């Protein structure tokens, strides 16, 4: 069997995920599931063995496309578990089962988003002024629900350099009719004093409850505590990264220097991390579909639910498999 080539549509989706044309962890997950489903539908594999090899190739490409995306990795892990769980009778039966699994998974995530929006809106007191940093679809759903309930007075949001994700936030807030003000990233400290709370998304939750989110979140969160402004982070439970329980580090994605400045100067190096890590002690609570929980309590809950005390070898082998 010759080396299989990924389809043009799959490569296009992969490029959009890598280049950040697809923004936000939940949108990355959706794009990955859609791309994988289309690829599975188009596999011409004649045997189950070759089908699984083709699937693993596509999954590896998605897994490695964005280093800091536990929610996407969770979706891929669910698919891999389905494949490894039992021997399929035929290619077509396996194809049908996997497509059904992907569809069911995405429906579950949509229901999770609905719950997070409801729980999150309840956590916003009437007349609130909220500061948010970077663009998060989960945060946007909460803000829109809170505004519908008459709880939200105004939203301050950062421009979010260097790729200006704040402009996406601006478009969505404007469309929803929510009074909003865009501010410079460096002006966050001054505007925090006017805010009732600091609300962000999360790209990953670590084993100790620490929060991985857009670079700059840590600094604003620390300032928020000094001003007495509580930091809430909204995310799906699938943002929890179980690999960090076993000593695997959450990779902080380093973006190209050209995103900051295209000019090359002697002796000049540009650092462009996409994310930073906010210690759990600065975050009041995580707003998830499982409820509103302190970060360390949430991490403990996920440890128990995933039965991680019994699955260390499974997660370690999965990580090695995807990095081969």
Q: For 160, phi and psi rounded to 5 degrees?
A: 65, 75
Neighbour order of strands in the sheet with 211-214: 204-205, 211-214, 275-278
Residues serving a catalytic function are: 134, 203
Residue 285, helix vs strand vs coil: strand
Q: How long, in residues, is the chain?
A: 324
For the chain, give me the number of helices (H) and strands (E)?
11, 10
**Angle at Cα 230 formed by Cα 176 and Cα 199, nearest 5°?**
30
- Across 236-271, b (16+ Cβ under 10 Å) vs e yields bbbbbbbbbbeeeebebbebebeeeeeeeeeeeeee
Question: If residue 293 lies in a helix (H) or strand (E), which one and from where to where?
Answer: strand 291-293
Angle between helices 48-65 and 312-323 (to 10 degrees): 90
Q: Is the peptide bond before 33 cis (omega within 30 degrees of 0)?
A: no
Three-class DSSP labels, 111-169: HHHHHHHHHHHHCCCCCEEEEECCCCHHHHHHHHHHHHCCCEEEEEEECCCCCCCHHHH
**Cα–Cα distance, 316 to 98 (Å, whole number):** 23
Output the CA torsion sign for 10, 15, 18, 21: negative
Which strands make up the sheet holding 291-293, listed edge to edge?
A: 180-183, 152-158, 128-132, 197-200, 230-234, 285-288, 291-293
Coil, helix or strand for 173?
A: helix
């Amino acid at each position: 069997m010759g080396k299989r080539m990924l389809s043009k549509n799959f490569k296009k989706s992969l490029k959009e995920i890598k280049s950040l044309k697809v923004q936000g962890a939940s949108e990355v997950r959706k794009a990955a599931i859609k791309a994988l489903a289309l690829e599975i539908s188009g596999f011409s594999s004649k045997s189950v063995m070759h089908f699984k090899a083709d699937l693993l190739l596509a999954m590896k490409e998605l897994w490695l496309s964005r280093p800091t995306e536990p929610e996407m990795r969770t979706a891929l892990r669910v698919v891999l578990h389905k494949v490894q769980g039992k021997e399929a009778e035929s290619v077509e039966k396996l194809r049908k089962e996997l497509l059904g699994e992907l569809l069911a998974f995405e429906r579950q995530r949509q229901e999770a988003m609905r719950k997070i929006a409801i729980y999150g809106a309840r956590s916003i007191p009437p007349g609130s002024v909220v500061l948010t940093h970077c663009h998060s679809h989960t945060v946007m759903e909460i803000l829109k629900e809170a505004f519908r309930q008459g709880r939200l007075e105004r939203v301050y949001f950062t421009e979010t350099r260097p790729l200006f994700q704040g402009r996406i936030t601006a478009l969505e807030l404007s469309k929803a009719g929510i009074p909003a003000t865009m501010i410079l990233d460096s002006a966050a400290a001054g505007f925090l004093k006017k805010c009732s709370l600091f609300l962000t998304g999360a790209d990953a939750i670590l084993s100790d409850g620490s929060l991985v989110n857009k670079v700059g979140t840590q600094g604003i969160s620390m300032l928020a505590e000094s001003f007495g402004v509580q930091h809430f982070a909204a995310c799906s439970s699938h943002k929890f990264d179980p690999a960090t329980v076993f000593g695997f580090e959450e990779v902080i994605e380093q973006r190209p220097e050209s995103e900051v400045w295209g000019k090359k100067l002697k002796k000049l190096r540009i650092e462009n991390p996409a994310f930073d890590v906010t210690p759990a002690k600065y975050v009041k609570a995580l707003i998830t579909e499982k409820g509103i929980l302190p970060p360390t309590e949430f991490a403990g809950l996920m440890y128990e639910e995933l039965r991680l005390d019994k699955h260390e070898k499974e997660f370690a082998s999965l990580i090695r498999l995807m990095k081969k």
